[in-house]
Amino acid sequence: MKSHTVVGFNILSGLRMLTDELVIVRSHHERFDGKGYPDRKKGDELPMFAWIVSAADAIDAMTSDRPYRRGMPLQVAVEQVRTGAGTHFHPDVAEAVMDAVASGALKLIPQTSMHPDAPKIGAFENPTA
């Protein structure tokens, strides 16, 4: 599981049009305190957009249903972001997330399949529809 950041980076690294984006693909599981993966980068060692994608990915992971657990409500996930500000998450990004939820700008998007009867093919549901 932890290797997917490097695998994604390696897959996309051959695309010359991607430069800054590769940093984000590789680093979206880093932590602000440097205890993340794969490179244990911290703070200002990564561009702000990497920290934004990291927070978005974490919120999605916390609020999405998984085979082994139900997703948590958005308010619970936002509280996790708040308590993780400065350790897991960039403090400015955590504050922006809380502001966006408070203003109603950030809401969960229901994640139901558009084709619930379609068979799963590889990692995607009905990719040709």
The CA distance from 92 to 121, in Å, is 39
Give the tens place of pLDDT for each residue, 72-82: 889 999 999 99
More confident residue, 81 or 28: 81
Q: Which of 20-29, 39-48, 116-125 has the highest mean pLDDT?
A: 39-48
Classify the C-alpha dihedral 62-63-66-70 as positive or negative.
Answer: positive
Give the CA dihedral 83, 98, 86, 12, nearest 10 degrees. 110
More confident residue, 7 or 129: 7
For residue 61, pLDDT over 80 is answered with yes
Name all domains of the chain by residue range, CATH numbers in brackets. Answer: 4-111 (1.10.3210.10)
Percent of the chain with pLDDT over 90: 47
Least confident range of 5-19, 71-85, 94-108: 5-19
